[in-house]
Amino acid sequence: MFLSLFFCLAFIANVKVGRCQPNSIFLLAGQSNMSGRGGNHNDTNNIVGWDGQIPPECASNTNILRLNANKTWVLAHEPLHQDIDYLKTCGIGPGLPFANEILSKVPTFGSIGLVPCAIGGTRIVQWDRGTVLYNQLVDRANAALDGGGKIRALLWFQGESDTSDYDSNLYKGRLETFINNLRQDLNISNLPVIMVAICSADQGPFMNRIRSIQLNYPFNDTYVKTVDAMGSTFLADQKHLDTKSQIRVGQKLAAAFLSSFDGLHPH
């Protein structure tokens, strides 16, 4: 009984103990619509805040953990990226809806570990091998594996910042290189990648070019799937998905994982 109490108190205190290691690990990377802005609003002083509203699809679950900024597994809660994308006001993102949907569809799936790595406003060149963001992604991925578990997929939601530059015609090659480098550096040659095709209303003139690249992936890579964010609704800025659409995207990501990557058979 004393040991059980110890582990319970350790979990509450965010102490990393062996029994808190999740079985299935998912990396979350990209820019602001991955880190989440659902529920954000501007107050009378034009300061961005989060409304604090957490729908059931985004609720905490003892079987869903997150790797915090200190690389410690803690109970996942919204805003999921609050200590990672810390220069911005984070709100609801697709991560918790994704994990909750998996557990809803497959109750025997086991524990899920989410590894937030997304940073708002980033272009794909900022995710090149050797950059701060790329190195942080690899470092956090390796830290997540300390103690066991398996990385099941990378969830990728990025591209809005590449829509206003003619350089967008290089997006395809950069995306392929990013995925290949990550697989090589994590030593997971068949790492599944589930990306979101962007659709924000207020973006640059090359948004359709980026969307086309994302929708027409995998370029013969059967371990890459794309879900479409088209049909989403937005905050007043017409760039960031609102809570309703973040939930929808998270559930789409979960459906893609369960249907394509052996998600119905937990490891």
- Which of 132, 197, 116 has the alpha carbon at shortest distance from 162? 197
Strand pairing partners for 50?
40
So which residues are the catalytic ones? 32, 237, 240
Among 3.40.50.720, 3.40.50.1110, 1.10.1060.10, 3.40.710.10, name the CATH number for the domain at 24-37+51-260.
3.40.50.1110
pLDDT profile of the chain (267 residues), mean per 10: 38 44 97 95 74 96 98 98 96 98 96 98 97 98 96 97 86 96 97 95 85 90 96 93 97 97 64
CB 255 within 8 A of CB 101: yes
- DSSP type of residue 52: -
- Cα→Cα distances 239→82, 118, 207, Å: 19, 16, 12
Model confidence pLDDT, tens digit, residues 14-69: 434 334 899 999 999 999 999 999 999 886 556 789 899 999 999 999 999 999 99
Instruction: Note the pLDDT of residue 168.
Output: 86
Q: Can you give the residue ranges of every domain in the chain?
A: 24-37+51-260
Instruction: Note the pLDDT of residue 20.
Output: 81
Torsion of the alpha carbons at 8, 12, 17 and 20, rounded to the nearest 10: 80
- What is the pTM for the complete model shown? 0.90
Instruction: Note the pLDDT of residue 106.
Output: 96
Instruction: Note the pLDDT of residue 263.
Output: 62
